[in-house]
């Protein structure tokens, strides 16, 4: 179980580094942002390596009965949604109350980049944009990104605090001057699944 403890420490460290990255971006301290980003990437790599080890260690130490009980226990609402990446896909992991299991929605990272471009083009710092203003997202060739993929990306930007939801009115950009760089930093910091 020492590996599990080490994994938990690495995940907390990665979360703290993400917060430090956001603060550096808000302060406009780009040299510090780049340094912290490199540290976060290293820690995320170690955490991914530890997760593989932890999974096999836990499988050996936990009985089938206790594993089923742990899986069937009610999930903490604060645990979801979670985000990860697989190649160029953004993965949103949610919890279905009805099915009592995790589900996944996927979107190419290019849709998130397109969303950021639209936010910057029509938003600015103080303008609040509704989803009607944002969607459907259109590629340069005029094709539309599926709205379901656009919502996955919107949820991720909100979770990363790159945008702020203003109740039912809509969303505004936290800091337009750093949005593009913060998006790339957040993407690189995501765990690979």
The model's pTM: 0.61
CB burial class (10 A; 0-12, 13-18, 19+) of residue 7? buried
Can you give the pLDDT of all 193 residues of the chain as single tens digits? Answer: 676 777 778 777 777 878 887 787 777 777 676 678 767 777 666 666 665 444 444 434 333 444 444 444 455 666 899 999 999 999 999 999 999 999 999 999 999 999 999 999 998 777 999 999 999 999 889 999 999 999 999 999 999 999 999 999 999 999 999 999 999 999 999 999 8
Q: Are residues 53 and 110 in the same domain?
A: no
Residue 97 lies in a domain: no
154 in Cβ contact with 179 (< 8 Å): no
Give the span between the Cα atoms of 113 and 13, in whole angstroms: 27
Q: Look up the domain containing 183 and give its range.
A: 106-189
Taking alpha carbons only, the member of 179, 170, 174 closest to residue 133 is: 170
- Specify if 96 maps to a domain: no
Strands 163-166 and 170-173, how do they pair? antiparallel
User: Domain containing 118 — which CATH number?
Assistant: 1.10.10
Count of domains for the chain = 2
Cα of first residue to Cα of last residue in the chain, in angstroms, is: 22
Query: Which of the listed residues 73, 90, 119 is the one where a domain comes to its end?
Result: 73
């Amino acid at each position: 179980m020492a590996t599990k403890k080490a994994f938990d420490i690495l995940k907390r460290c990665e979360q703290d580094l993400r917060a430090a990255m956001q603060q550096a971006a808000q302060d406009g301290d780009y040299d510090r942002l780049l340094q912290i980003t490199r540290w976060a990437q290293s820690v995320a790599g170690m955490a991914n390596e530890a997760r593989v080890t932890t999974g096999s260690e836990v499988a050996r130490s936990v009985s089938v009965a206790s594993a089923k009980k742990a899986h069937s226990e009610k999930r903490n609402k604060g645990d979801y949604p979670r985000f990860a990446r697989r190649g160029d896909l953004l993965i949103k992991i949610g919890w279905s109350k009805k099915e009592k299991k995790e589900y996944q929605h996927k979107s190419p990272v290019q849709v998130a980049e397109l969303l950021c471009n639209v936010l910057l083009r029509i938003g600015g710092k103080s303008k609040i944009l509704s989803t009607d203003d944002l969607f459907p997202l259109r590629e340069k060739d005029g094709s539309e990104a599926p709205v379901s993929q656009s919502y996955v990306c919107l949820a991720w930007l909100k979770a990363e605090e790159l945008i702020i939801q203003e109740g039912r009115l809509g969303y505004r950009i936290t800091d337009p001057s750093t949005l593009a760089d913060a998006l790339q930093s957040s993407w690189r910091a995501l765990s690979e699944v």
